[in-house]
Structure 1
């Protein structure tokens, strides 16, 4: 299992070079797909996923929203599990993960302004946007080696 959870995190990859090329392509596809969904006028719902938004009944529209929230929950679970792995085995990655937290919550904040939603009450995530960004920045500051255990 050391090839999955190595003792040292460095830039050495012990596997076949083709894996790196395919992983780079997957990475580019993932980032491109993410940016498209964030920036496309319909979020890609109709133009890519062929979800007939303009023909939905209120029930179908509600089911679509619930499905998208479930997908978002899956993404949050994967990030949370990555955080668990970092806490348990790869604490050297915590500063990088804090940067990702800043980027995620700043992105949520910006997307909330770019694509405002009509809601009855502010969701907890909107409040968290204002807390998590400065909190993660403070934690990142104190993650520097100068503040390590003495």
Structure 2
């Protein structure tokens, strides 16, 4: 157990990835997706709220719609920060990847739970809604893979 905790919370981060490579390979496209989502939420005129998330902004007051757009842009900034940490891990501190899979699991799982308890009116199914079901499971499996050392060929 201490060995697993040591992989999850190393005394210092280095650029040596010790887990199964599948968790490393899937980490790269998720990092790219995180950057794409962040820039879209920041720079799209509606922050992706109506065009992607299908929130009916045109039925809100101008102030209400602007408030949601601002919140989406702020969310994009948080995603950009997470994307930068992920990129740093991918390039320089690969030993962080198990911990980041834990954070990804907590974020997507937490987002799903919040969506259940505080639902948001939409007129369609947003890609993020689908990701809310899939990514917590994927992240948990990748966390296990990231903590599980690959077998070395004899």
TM-score for the superposition, normalised by structure 2: 0.58
Work out whether 1:91 is the aligned partner of 2:91. no
Structure 1 spans left out of the alignment, 5+ residues: 1-7, 11-56
Are 2:118 and 1:115 equivalent residues in the alignment?
A: yes
Partner of 2:29: none
Match of 1:80 in 2: 83
- Are residue 66 (structure 1) and residue 69 (structure 2) matched? yes
Instruction: Give the gaps of 5 or more residues in structure 2.
Output: 1-10, 14-59
Higher relative contact order (CA 8 A, sep 6+): 2
State how far apart, in whole Å, the 1-side matches of 2:62 and 2:126 are.
22
How large is the RMSD of aligned CA atoms in angstroms?
1.8
SS at match of 2:12: coil
Matched, 1:143 2:149: no
- 1:130 shift after superposition: 1.1
